[in-house]
Amino acid sequence: MAEKKKRKSAPRRFPKAKAEELFRILAEDRPDPHTELNFVNPYTLVVAVALSAQATDVGVNKATKKLFEIADTPEKMLALGEEGVADHIKTIGLWRNKAKNVIALSDMLIKDFGGEVPKTREELVKLPGVGRKTANVVLNEAFGQPTIAVDTHIFRVSNRTGLAPGKNPDQVEEQLEKVVPAEYKLGAHHWLILHGRYCCLARTPKCWLCPIIDLCKYKPKTPGPRD
């Protein structure tokens, strides 16, 4: 009789007390976390986050500085037209497709939502160029909802530290929803992104600067410049 294959158990996330300590430390390190994308209202946030796919926040901010000065509503963006949008965002990757999406989502916002950005994930993901991650960022930053958008930084930090392991962004998001203490959920998205962007770097994490080094499961720790 053939042996039954043992089912691999899912990676264990942090216990509650350890997760609470991790976020307490990150909150003390960055007490007022926010997105580094520049925006003036919920609509421009949707556009900025949609443009940020496969692009840096710095690059998006440079491209949208003048764009948002002349088009900060769906109506103004439609008046600018696809070519007008494209002229402003040519420094961003995939700019042609993104220009089409900006015009298409602006048109849908006017026709289906009265020109207002919807406040539910189900409605937001209907917009062209808006996926679950973008929707979660908008809900968190514009409307104060405790959502977590798993980007490359959050995916890396969650797996590397052992906070919320997962094989894909959806799994990591599901784990984070379970492990992040309620009092830290609103800021968790930003704390993890900023930690990944400035400390827990992809190639060489700055472990010697890490405020949560004693909680992190990553080994071996990267030595400091003088070690």
Dump the DSSP string for 145-156.
Answer: -------HHHHH
Cβ-in-10-Å burial (0-12, 13-18, 19+) of 17 comes to: exposed
Which mean pLDDT values do the consecutive 10-residue runs of the chain (227 residues) have? Answer: 51 89 96 92 97 93 97 98 96 95 98 98 97 95 95 96 96 96 95 96 95 95 81
Whether 57 is catalytic is no
What's the pLDDT at 7?
Answer: 52
Distance of alpha carbon 133 from alpha carbon 143, whole angstroms:
15
Quickly list H helices, 52-198.
Answer: 57-70, 74-89, 95-113, 121-124, 132-143, 152-161, 169-179, 185-198
CB atoms within 10 A of CB 185: 17
Q: Please measure the distance between the N-terminal and C-terminal CA atoms of the chain and give it in whole angstroms.
A: 56
Is there a catalytic annotation at residue 227?
Answer: no
Structure tokens at 131: 């996926």
Considering the candidates 8, 107, 111, 133, report the single residue annotated as catalytic. Answer: 133
pLDDT at 1: 45
Distance, CA of 191 to CA of 186 (rounded, Å): 10
Q: Please pick, among 6, 66, 72, 151, the residue that the annotation labels catalytic.
A: 151
